Amino acid sequence: MTRARIRDAGDSALVADLGDVVDAAINRRAIGLAARVRAAGVAGVRDVVPTFRSVAVFFDPLRTDVEALRALLQPQPQDDAERSRGEAVEIPVEYGGESGPDLDAVAAAAGLAPADVVTRHSAREYRVFMVGFLPGFGYLGELDPAIAAPRHASSRLRVPAGSVGIAGRQTGVYPQASPGGWQIVGRTTARPFDSRRTPASLLAPGDRVRFVPVPTGSLGSFDTAWASPPAPDAASAAPRAVRVLQAGLMTSVQDGGRWGRQHEGVPVSGAMDVAALRDANRAVGNPAGAAALEATLGGFEARLEHAGAVAVAGADLDATIDGRPLPLGTRVEHGTGAVVRFGDRRAGTRAYLALDGGLDVPMCLGSRATDLTSGLGGWHGRRLRAGDEVPVNAPAPVPPLATGVPVRPVPHGGARVRVLPGPHSDAFPPEAIELLRRTRFEVTPESNRMGYRLKGPQPLPGGTGDMISDATCAGGLQVPPSGYPILLMADRQVTGGYPIVATVISADLPVVGQLAPGDWIEFDLCTRAEALAALARLESADGRGA
């Protein structure tokens, strides 16, 4: 049996490559290997994600025996059995018309009648090769080559939820309204993803899918079928709450992240600066990953509708409480009606406001973090608005800290951070890493919580800009055809089709999370040993960082 090529994706993920093509046998082996790794229960493993031809394993590098994990990731004969053949799933589809605006064009390009395209599309049993792009989006193949069709030259700004699309020899169902470039041939009311369902994803790698044509109108109103459930009454008073008076540029509820769901296409999300989140929570006696408010670049103002304690960490946004300075990393007691404000940016970008007890928003797939792209978690899956009143848990019976937590320095205008090459550095010539190391990039205005688009004096050389979709990783420097990197962040998509030349180490991701458009960033190479030492310092009890 062919050995897997094990690639490092930074210091906290490994990728086992099982082949160079999209092939059912290779994919079956990847799914079986992923199941075996999950069943092994290795300490510190957070996520196991099978893709078309690989398995990505995400882990806590301070708890996981990386060399033992490398050995476990070598395929075994039993992996080919895939542990099961997968579930059989039928999806009803209304083809053509408003539901399938590209059906006629696909038919014309194939030299077929639209009805023949429908027949060929629905005649096959498709394999779910992987789930990614969006939560619950299954990459299904392989399509009849007679009706294979390229993506649109430019993506639609909005593809309706439930749209059934074709791209090359793949097909799939959009689980939510989103931009997209696939050829849309039909629409369904079957929900590929529902966070209230167990499992949340309708499809899993290895499942078998058939599309069933149904008459136009037989599925009822798509608008009704895909309407979001009504939000709970935001006006109901909670005994402890924070009321948003001004939301600022972008404020959301975040915690330590939504681990364990990437195989369903669900991003990790969570705080962009997990170290600052931890520091703010430590100051008020909360668990390190408790839900808090992440405010971006000031302008935030809130009234505390109860007596308790607060702390702020991360960016210095000139925080005040009732007009008095609110020092970073310091527990401050407050009375009912106290007002917290974030003003001008002095250093950093994201400040974390922790309240004793933590924010009491509903758990969603094991986390309270807001995934803005998918509309999951947090406060109704969105950024906060003026008038929102977010409940706060009762504080745990722990004594308050006598002093505050040490304040970590945050970037002021830019930062130099450390990277490890890979996981796809072999797709680039050696001079690409050297150019990366000696280039100062700028964070562009197109940046967000999914990723920072970087601009430099010249593009990185030699990257193909395209590959078989693979797992992504936080801190990955993904290189599209332009040659200018995209630095993947907390809300990154689980899978992506661009190679990753290098990955920011875990200890420096909090630093990156404090950058804003217009700031600069530079990269230094380091070793795995140096990366682990830096992370150990960051995670140490004194909280002083690397």
Q: With contact defined as beta carbons under 8 Å apart, do 133 and 493 qualify?
A: yes
DSSP per residue, 458-520: SPPSS--S--S-EE--TTEEE--TTS--EEE-TT--SEESS-EEEEE-GGGHHHHTT--TT-E
The residues that bridge with 487 in the sheet, in sequence order, are 452, 477
Question: How do residues 272-321 score in pLDDT, each as one tens digit?
Answer: 999 999 999 999 999 999 999 999 998 999 999 999 999 999 999 999 99
Question: How do residues 151-207 score in pLDDT, each as one tens digit?
Answer: 998 889 999 999 999 999 999 999 999 999 999 999 999 999 999 999 999 999 999
Q: What is the per-residue pLDDT for 115?
A: 98
Q: What is the per-residue pLDDT for 402?
A: 47
User: Residue 456 CB: number of other CB atoms within 10 A?
Assistant: 18
Q: What is the pTM of this model?
A: 0.94
Q: What is the per-residue pLDDT for 238?
A: 77
Q: What is the per-residue pLDDT for 467?
A: 81
208-213 and 88-95 as β-strands: parallel, antiparallel, unpaired?
parallel
**Alpha helices for 304-361 (secondary structure H):** none
Mean pLDDT in order along the chain per 10 residues (546 residues): 91 95 92 96 97 97 96 92 78 97 98 98 97 95 96 92 96 95 97 95 96 96 86 65 97 97 96 97 94 96 97 97 96 97 96 97 97 95 97 81 77 96 92 95 97 96 76 95 95 94 98 98 97 94 46
Considering the segment(s) 5-81 as one domain, its CATH architecture is 2-Layer Sandwich (3.30)
The torsion angles phi and psi of 109, rounded to 5 degrees, stand at: -65, -30
Q: What is the per-residue pLDDT for 289?
A: 95
Gap between the Cα atoms of 61 and 53, Å rounded: 24
414-421 and 520-525 as β-strands: parallel, antiparallel, unpaired?
parallel
The domain locations on the chain are: 5-81, 88-220, 241-391, 414-539
* Same fold for the pair 5-81 and 414-539: no
Gap between the Cα atoms of 357 and 87, Å rounded: 42
3-state secondary structure of 400: coil
**In the structure encoding, which two tokens stand for residue 464, read together?**
């193909």
User: Residue 487 CB: number of other CB atoms within 10 A?
Assistant: 26
User: Residue 404 CB: number of other CB atoms within 10 A?
Assistant: 17
Q: Which residues contact 33 (CB under 8 A, 6 or more apart)?
A: 4, 16, 18, 50, 55, 73, 75, 76, 79
Q: What's at 480, amino acid-wise?
A: P
Gap between the Cα atoms of 414 and 506, Å rounded: 18
Gap between the Cα atoms of 186 and 190, Å rounded: 12
Q: What is the per-residue pLDDT for 235?
A: 47
Considering the segment(s) 88-220 as one domain, its CATH architecture is Beta Barrel (2.40)
CATH superfamily of 414-539: Cyclophilin-like (2.40.100.10)
Q: What is the per-residue pLDDT for 86?
A: 84
DSSP per residue, 332-345: EEE-TTEEEE--S-
Q: What is the per-residue pLDDT for 80?
A: 85
181 membership: H or E segment, kind and range: none
